[in-house]
Structure 1
Amino acid sequence: MDDYKFLFKVVLVGNAGVGKTCLVRRFTQGLFPPGQGATIGVDFMIKTVEIDNEKVKIWDTAGQERFRSITQSYYRSAHALILVYDISCQPTFDCLPDWLREIEEYASNKVLRVLVGTLLTLGPRSSLPSCTALALNRPEAENVEKLFMEIAAELMEVMYSTS
């Protein structure tokens, strides 16, 4: 069994097809799987980060409406929630208030919330508002590692300050 001081549960939420699984696989396996299919139910992967060798547990949730009852139970013990939308697809941005309402209802009020815009196609740039904290796309995937490392560092800081 691995030794670790903290185990953080990071849940990715957002509409189907916005790249949640791609983000998790890029972080945990170092690759973007081409033609990634829809996640059925809930899938998760684990990666140990090099911040005092703490383990971060990444939960990738399904975005389809029919799986929402499954994913709601995972909000309760989440330390961080990453809201993901595709910057080239306006409807995924328009659904963010719905995801935020769900988070308000089911997650702890202390959960860390991060907004991430992905760009899954190489087509014309979107005209969505530029409020994204971190834009991620395939050719420039180094931001994926940065995203999860910053989340882990912030969660560790919170844990150390409350202990």
Structure 2
Amino acid sequence: MAKKQYDLLFKLLLIGDSGVGKTCILYRFSDDAFNTTFISTIGIDFKIKTIELKGKKIKLQIWDTAGQERFHTITTSYYRGAMGIMLVYDITNGKSFDNIAKWLRNIDEHASEDVVKMLLGNKCDMSDRRVVSKERGERIAIDHQIRFLETSAKSNINIDKAFYDLAEAILDRMPTTSTSDNVRIRPVDQDSQPSGSRCC
């Protein structure tokens, strides 16, 4: 038998209202692709990507959940066993931001207590249509003691960083097997594009 291709397996979950860009974020990270014609996720979908972090090969199993209310009974079962959860809202859609409180309650009800959470304000390339300020996103993240980033799947801003930061936070919480492997391996920073198209 071939030996295992990875050292650790992390189950991650993307949650948030329908249309905020969860599927686009997932496809940008897993396939480096962006498609404007995605149809709404029906139920659940997932992708796998293996990354290297601190000298370990980590297999990320990333579940993309449907945002529509009618699928919530299906998707809540996927919270179990999730090690990291990304809550996504759309900076051009105030309701998707207001609903973050509801999604946080869902996590409290259905996910394990030690799950690592991250808040993503997506579509930050559309600054002309912004209705949710970065400060509001930062405030809710501070209140709930979770990480926060603004992202754009379309312009590939902070997508890799979000997944690597979440994976690193999960890894940091794990009991260390050896003190010698404190090597930090970071992805090539694609986010700092030479064109200077920074987020915000």
Alpha carbons of 1:139 and 1:32: their partners in 2 closer, same or farther (altered >3 Å)?
Answer: closer
1:47, 1:160 → 2: CA distance? 23
1:41, 1:139 → 2: CA distance? 23
Give the alignment's TM-score, normalised by structure 1: 0.92
Matched, 1:77 2:108: no
Is the contact between residue 13 and residue 83 of structure 1 (CA under 8 Å) also seen in structure 2? yes
Runs of 4 or more off by more than 6 Å in structure 1? none
Instruction: Calculate percent identity across the aligned residue pairs.
Output: 42
Offset of residue 48 of structure 1: 0.3
Segment drifting more, 133-142 vs 22-31 = 133-142
Match of 2:93 in 1: 89
Q: In the TM superposition, what are the counterparts of 1:46-61 in structure 2 within 5 Å?
A: 46-51=48-53, 52-61=56-65
Offset of residue 152 of structure 1: 1.2
Match of 2:44 in 1: 42
Match of 2:152 in 1: 137
Alpha carbons of 1:162 and 1:110: their partners in 2 closer, same or farther (altered >3 Å)?
Answer: farther
Offset of residue 54 of structure 1: 1.3
Is the contact between residue 15 and residue 22 of structure 2 (CA under 8 Å) also seen in structure 1? yes
Q: Say which of 11, 16, 19 aligns to 2:18.
A: 16
In our comparison, the structure showing a higher alpha carbon Rg is 2
Report how many residues are paired. Answer: 163
Higher RCO (C-alpha 8 Å, min separation 6): 1
What's the C-alpha RMSD, in Å, of the aligned pairs?
2.0
2:176, 2:122 → 1: CA distance? 32
Unaligned runs of 5+ in 2: 139-147, 179-200
Alpha carbons of 1:109 and 1:30: their partners in 2 closer, same or farther (altered >3 Å)?
Answer: same
Match of 1:104 in 2: 108
Structure 2 counterpart of 1:153, one-letter code: E
Is the contact between residue 125 and residue 155 of structure 2 (CA under 8 Å) also seen in structure 1? no
Is the contact between residue 19 and residue 40 of structure 2 (CA under 8 Å) also seen in structure 1? yes
Is the contact between residue 125 and residue 154 of structure 2 (CA under 8 Å) also seen in structure 1? no
Offset of residue 81 of structure 1: 0.7
Offset of residue 121 of structure 1: 7.2
Unaligned runs of 5+ in 1: none
Match of 1:159 in 2: 174
